[in-house]
Structure 1
Amino acid sequence: MTESATSRQPFAGWDKPDIDLSDADWQSGSHGAGDVQIAFVEGFIAMRNAGKPGSPSLIFTPAEWRAFVVNARDGEFDLT
């Protein structure tokens, strides 16, 4: 298995398992026009750059994902 097929664990205190993303069902937002893809794997949510699918993925717990989505909807990450 290649390194790009699994999540990386670069930080001390990393509390997520080494998730195999090689068979993940990646879904694009914005009807396929977005640059981000997500996949639901082993009870976690993985997010990756659609333009560089071999690059590392971010792994969220369901609570982290919910907080991210709620805050994005509220405009917290709006850079304009």
Structure 2
Amino acid sequence: MDLNAELKSAPWRKATKSGSNGGDCLEIAPLPEGRVALRDTEAPHQPPFVVTATVWDAFVDGAKKGEFDF
């Protein structure tokens, strides 16, 4: 399966804290081989960003540890 087909059939979801604000959030979707796709609901014309499982795991770990807090 090619990436475009994977993205089209991907089970996209957003964080429950995003609420129903009509956008303004990121959505993620798991892909084969542990990859993760990310897209901006405010820019649906732009292609999603796809990262490897290792990159995604490092990001989630950093977020849990507060490394991205302002």
TM over 0.5: yes
Paired with 2:36 and 2:69, the residues of 1 have a C-alpha distance of 22
- Which AA in structure 1 matches 2:61? V
SS of corresponding position for 1:22? helix
Q: Structure 1 or 2: larger helix share?
A: 2
The correspondence of residues 1-80 of structure 1 with structure 2, limited to 5 A, is: 19-20=3-4, 21-30=7-16, 32-33=18-19, 35-43=25-33, 44-79=35-70
Aligned pairs, number = 62
Higher mean displacement: 66-75 or 31-40: 31-40
**What percentage of residue pairs aligned between the two structures are identical?**
32
Normalising by structure 1, report the TM-score. 0.64
RMSD: 1.9
Question: Displaced runs of 4+ in structure 1, greater than 6 A?
Answer: none
Gaps of at least 5 residues in structure 1 are: 1-17
Normalising by structure 2, report the TM-score. 0.71
Gaps of at least 5 residues in structure 2 are: none
Q: Displacement of 1:31 after TM fit? A: 5.1
> Which string of whole-angstrom CA distances, capped at 9 and with x for unpartnered residues, describes residues 6-54 of structure 1?
xxxxxxxxxxxx6221222211112552601001122210011122223
